[in-house]
Structures are given as structure tokens and as C-alpha cells.
Structure 1
Amino acid sequence: GFAFITYYRQGKVDLKVSIVFAGFALLGSISATIIFIAFPIDNIALKIVIASVILISGLNMIRKAIKHFKSDRNNNIIQEFSFENFDYKTNLEKGIPLFFLAGFVAHLSGIGGGMIFVPILTIAFGIPIHFATAISTTMIFFLGIYNASTRIFLGTIHYDIGILIGIGAIAGALVGAKFSKKISKSALQFFVAIVLISLSIRMFFV
């Protein structure tokens, strides 16, 4: 919630896009909950599939970061993007199935929607990484309430660990929101890509 407020004050959050995409990601999460209860899924197979998707997304983001680094020397390029020129109708139609699937996968795997939402926003919609992280954070704010509630209901949450992670996440989100203002698009893309690739490798071998 704190990061969402920070990004909103920076003018990087479009509530219409965030709420609509979060809504369909939520439907995906609900579907995943129902399927998980009715049909237990092989965790190993699921991890391999998700890790592969994350790895491909990370490599794709590195490619885009290199392209931006070579073609753009102006660190203020992010100011040129505006949601006033965003084709809501076309992009929302495209985003509905993508974020439904993203919510489904994120809930089943428990890896966190941001690892999936950010690549979708940047790769599929061409939204600059600074804005993509802001929108993703806003979506997670809404989705987190539902996901936490279902985990509590299913009894799969460890409160002591969850509290510690929550404290770290709040601090990290606040620092990240401030830090993202000071680095270029390509640098932030490289950073996110490294996180994605590292996560995918960990999922493959752990």
C-alpha cells in the first residue's frame, strides 16, 4: 500500500488500467483456488513451466534493455510516456486473458504477481518499465488482500514468517519506489531482468 501511494503521487499510476487488470487477475486467482482445492497439481511440473516462462521473460527484457540503452541517451525519456495516448479499448481487450492467466499462475505458484505482471506490461503493452512497476504494485495491492485471505482460510500461511516478510516488503517497496525515479529505463530493465532470471534459475534447481 505504501509503494502504491508513492507511485500514485509520482503520477505513474493509471487507476483505470490497474483496477481492470487487477480485477481479471483476481478472477484468475479465484479460479486457481477452486482448481487447487478440487484437483491437486503436481508442484514440480508447475515449477518447471513457470520457471521457463519467467526465464524467457527475463531474457526478452534484457534484449529490450540493450536496445533502449543503445538508442536512448536521455534519462528523462520516461516523461514522454502518457496514458492520454493509451489505447484503452484495444489494450484492455488484450489484457483480459493475459492477466487472468497471470493471476491464475501467480496464485498457484505463490511467486508474487509482480514477477509476472511487469514483463506482461512492458513486453505485451509497451508500457515503460517505470510505469509498469507502478501499475504492477497497484495491482498487487488489491490482489494481496484476496490472496492473503484465501491462504489464511486454507491454513497455508505462517504468520511469524509472513510478518517478517511483510516488514521487509514494505521497506523495500518504499525504497524501490524512490530509487526508481533516479535510474534510467534501461538500467531498471536490466535490474528487473536479472531478478527474473535469478528467480527462474532458483525455481529450476531448488
Structure 2
Amino acid sequence: MEWILLMLLGVVAAAFGSLVGLGGGIIIVPGLLLFAPTLIGEPIEHATAVGISLTVLIVTALASTLSYTKRGIVDFRSGLLFFITSGPASILGAALTGLMQAGVFQLLFGSLMLLLAGLLIGRDYMKPFAKEWPIQRSITDAQGNVHTYGYGLWSALAIGFGVGLISGLFGIGGGSLFVPMMVLLYRFPPHVATATSMFVIFLSAILGSGMHVALGEIDWLLVAALVPGAWIGGRIGARIAVKLSGNKLLWLLRITLLALAIQLIFEGISAV
């Protein structure tokens, strides 16, 4: 029964993650921290939860990227630019995770989830930045629709570093920050932002999880339990994302993030 529940956790996390470009870690990490005593009979270290999340994210992001690539909405060139700084930063973040006390980690992670929930709520009411960026990009999807947007080199590299650092530190994949930035700051179409974000997450998760492997912060049995669900959920989320607006699912995600954030902040305050 425990293995079935862990696989379902992987399905739900990956489906939500690929739907809005989060990557699934925002569900997996708090899920493991809060429910590990029930599922496996003992608590799990926060660094191990992050390492497991980043390892599973490789599978989730690969499944989503392959599905999005068939629909022609992954901007690989822009994704590689973001990865130049997000990749090394994810390694740095992964190395710093184990240095934090458990209570501090839960408090900071809960606060981050609260911020992300706010971003997901607020992005419906925010207007894209009107600046004309020096680098202009266009992409033609599988239906022949042309999407045009742009960005600045140094701002893109700076955003990549910040998102990569947070991704490696908390195991969340970084899409929760990448997508709002790409849509609001650079005027990426939402589907292109989500798809490109999953490509960057795939590359960054390889480096971040590699650091956790080197530090011995991976539970391979839990990874094996979560990976099948993550593969299935990643493909399901990608299919839903291109067919539906996802507004109702977005609100479900927002409510879930708020509930998990409150729980983690409460436990973090109690442990500090």
C-alpha cells in the first residue's frame, strides 16, 4: 500500500508540475517531509527529500519536454541561455541544502511556497512588461501559430542564476519562478513558457541531483517508488496543458500550496 501511495504522489506532483511548469518538486518535497512517517514509518531528512525530488524531476521534466517538443512549443535556444547560469547555481544550492537546520528549512520552504501561491494568484491580474527587449525570438508551433517575444541577455542570465539557486536548495525545479518571469517580464506565451521551463528544469535537475548523489543524500528506494508515477504524471500534465486553460486546476494548486505552506511554516516555527 505504501508503494502505491508513493506512486500516486509522483503522479499528482508531476501532473500539476508539468501543467504549469513547476516541475512537481513543490509537491514532492513537502509531501515527503509531512507524510514520510506514515508512508515509510520514519521521518526523512530535508536534504534527502530535496535530493529525491530533484532526481525524480529529471524523469518528470523529460516526459513533459518530449510531449511539448512534439507540439513545437519548446524554445531550446532560450532554454539553453537560461541554463548557462541556472545549471551551476543548482549545484551550489544543492550543496547548501544540508547545511540548514530542519526547522529553518521548513520555515524558509513554507515561506517560499506562500510566495509562489501569491505569484500564481497575482499573475492573472498582472500585465506583461511593455519594454522592447534587444533579443527578439519567434517560434512556430505544430499548428502553424507564430509566437513572438524577447528578453535581455544579462537579465536572463541573472534570473537563471537566482532560479537555479532556489531550485537546487529546495528541490522545486524552478519553473514556479521561471514561468511568471517569462510570461510577465519577457512576454512569452504561457504554453511556450511552461514548455521551455520544463526543458531548463530537466537540465538543471541533472546537475542538482548529481550533487546530492555525491553527498549521499538520495534514498534510491523512494526514488524507484516515485519515478513510475512521475513519468505518467509528466505526460498527463503536458497533454492537459495544451488542451485546457487549466484555470480550475490552477486554483486547486494554489489552495494546495497555501495549505502545505501553512503546515510547513507552523512546523518550522515549532522546531526552530
Asked if TM exceeds 0.5, the reply is yes
**Residue type matched to 2:118 in 1?**
I
Q: CA–CA distance in 2 between the matches of 1:33 and 1:176? A: 26
Query: What does residue 75 of structure 1 align with?
Result: none
For structure 1, the 5+ residue unaligned runs are 66-77
2:230 aligned to which of 169, 176, 179: 169
Deviation for aligned residue 1:113: 2.2
Aligned pair count? 186
Deviation for aligned residue 1:188: 2.8
2:105 aligned to which of 34, 43, 57: 43
**Residue type matched to 1:137 in 2?**
M
Deviation for aligned residue 1:54: 0.7
**Residue type matched to 1:182 in 2?**
K
Q: CA–CA distance in 2 between the matches of 1:189 and 1:121? A: 19
For structure 2, the 5+ residue unaligned runs are 1-61, 128-142, 265-272
Asked if residue 132 in structure 1 is aligned to residue 193 in structure 2, the reply is yes
**Residue type matched to 1:14 in 2?**
D
Asked if residue 118 in structure 1 is aligned to residue 172 in structure 2, the reply is no
Structure with higher strand content: 2
Deviation for aligned residue 1:196: 4.3
TM-score (norm 2): 0.60
Q: Percent identity?
A: 22
Contact 1:61–1:190, Cα closer than 8 Å, also in 2: no
Contact 1:61–1:193, Cα closer than 8 Å, also in 2: no
RMSD value, Cα: 2.6
- In the TM superposition, 1:16-165 aligns within 5 A as 16-36=77-97, 40=100, 42-63=104-125, 82=147, 85-88=148-151, 90=152, 92-165=153-226
Deviation for aligned residue 1:24: 1.5
Q: Deviations over 1:114-159 (max 9, x none)?
A: 3332222223322222111101111111112112211211122111
Structure with higher helix content: 1
**Cα 1:196–1:158 shift into 2, 3 Å:** farther
Q: CA–CA distance in 1 between the matches of 2:226 and 2:235? A: 14
Query: What does residue 18 of structure 2 align with?
Result: none
TM-score (norm 1): 0.77
For residue 74 of structure 2, give the secondary structure of its aligned residue in structure 1.
coil
For residue 86 of structure 1, give the secondary structure of its aligned residue in structure 2.
strand
Range moving further from structure 2, 102-111 or 42-51? 42-51
Q: CA–CA distance in 1 between the matches of 2:76 and 2:186? A: 16
